[in-house]
Structure 1
Amino acid sequence: MVKFTIPLFLAAATLAAAMPTADSIFKREADCRDDLRPDTLARTNEAVECINYLASLGDQACVATVSGQSFCRRGETQITGISRLDRGRNTQSTCRDVARGAGQILDRCSRGDGTVRGANPAWGNGNLLVDIRRNP
């Protein structure tokens, strides 16, 4: 009878690969906010312009408030940051991470008619909700 053994280093490497990372903990499915009226659908091309703008700001802080802070507006499309912290406390992420969270909304919630709407946490910060919608 042949006995197979798994070397200890291989087992440890397999276990390490299965451990969640900071990025995977905060990767969530974007909420496409289908509970909102159709007139809140934003234009995809305008959202892309905002995402590119926010990404270009890199490590600059994008600070979100409880009542919502507009991070970018193109045409009638707005990307807003909303703090989920209690007692009215602000939260922040890099604008690059806000852009990544908004990009996830774009990936999951874009429609065939060139519109998008949704909400998703900023990359790596579940306390900063990124929201894309039409705001005339």
Structure 2
Amino acid sequence: MIIERAKPSDYQELKQLWLVVFNEEPAFLEHFFATRISYQDIFVAREDDKLVSALHALPLYYHKRGEEHPTSYIVGAATYKEYRRRGIMGKLLEATRQAYDHPITLFPAVRPFYEANGYFTTSSVLSFTLEA
């Protein structure tokens, strides 16, 4: 298993992974990859030269006491189903933590998994019913 940063040549494999794992609308997928892709901020796992897992650590900023600070926001954390439960995403999360000296945030779909990998909940999700 090789853990490394993505390369421009990974473009189609990254899109395919996202499409398969998230069943994303093609229009959103095209827009995201056209406007937000940053290869130096994408961490991938390869097995036998095949991209099997990836996460995007999008660079952002937060404000604290009037000052701007860097952060990364994880999106598109995905692993093909047949490669799950092997610790691959945990290795990608660790590589991401080691690569940056600033906070890293995400809104996880599976909180217990991320909490087991050192992340903790700092917010809660509220839902509201909207009238038609």
| TM-score (norm. length: structure 2) | 0.22
Structure of higher CA gyration radius: 1
